[in-house]
Amino acid sequence: MISVLLDVVGGVLLLVGLLLLTISLVGVLRLPDTYHQLHAQGLATGPGVIAVLASSIATENATIITFAVLAIAFVALTSPVSSHAIARAAHRRRNSAGTGGGTGGGTGGGTDNAGEA
C-alpha cells in the first residue's frame, strides 16, 4: 500500500517537475530581457529541479533519496546566488552603457522593461 502511494507521489512530482521545466524553457525563449529570463530560469533551477529530485522518493532506496535530499539542499543554496550574479552583471552592464563607463551602484525604482539580452 505504501509502495503504491510512494509511486503515485513520485510520479506526480516527476510530472510537476517536467511541466515546470517545460514552462521555464518556453519563458526563456519568449521573454525579452535578461531580468525576465532569470525569472523563467528560476522556475527550472528552483522548483523544477527540486520536484524532479523529490520524485526519487518512489525508488524507496535510502541511498538515492539521501543524495536527492543533499542535492535539493545544495540547489536551494546555489540557485539564488547564480541568479543574483547574472542579474548584477546585467545591471552593471546597463549602468555602464547608460553612463558611458563605470560600474555598479545604480538605483532602481519604478519599472524597467528595457531590453537587456
Partner 1 sequence: MIALVLRVVVLTSIYLLVLTSLRPGDVLTGLLLATLVVLASRRTGRGAPSQPVPLRRRLAGVPALVGGTLVDLVSGTWQTAVRLLGRGPAEGGLVEVPIPPGGPVSAAAWGVRVGFVPDTVVVEIDEERGRMLLHVLDARNPAAVVAAQHDSYQRRQRRVFP
Among 40, 59, 72, 96, binds partner 1 (CB under 8 A): 40
d(CA 24, CA 29): 9
d(CA 32, CA 1): 48
Residue 29, SS3? helix
Minimum Å gap between C-beta 4 and partner 1 is 25
Minimum Å gap between C-beta 61 and partner 1 is 10
Q: Which amino acid type is present at position 90?
A: A
- Within 78-97, the residues that bind partner 1 by CB under 8 A are 79-81, 83-84, 87-88, 90-91
Q: Does 71 bind partner 1 (CB under 8 A)?
A: no
Nearest-10 Cα torsion for 14, 81, 34, 72: 0
DSSP secondary structure string for all residues of 76-103: HHHHHHHHHHHHHHHHHHHHHHHHTS--
Q: Which amino acid type is present at position 36?
A: H
| Whether 53 contacts 73, CB under 8 Å | no
Only one of the segments 5-13, 52-60, 76-84 lies at the binding site for partner 1 (rule: CB under 8 A); that segment is 76-84
Which residue lies nearer to partner 1 by CB, 9 or 90? 90
Residues contacting partner 1: total by CB under 8 A: 43
Residues in contact with partner 1 by the rule CB under 8 A: 20, 23-24, 26-27, 30-32, 35-36, 38-40, 42-43, 46-47, 62-63, 66-67, 69-70, 76-77, 79-81, 83-84, 87-88, 90-91, 105-113
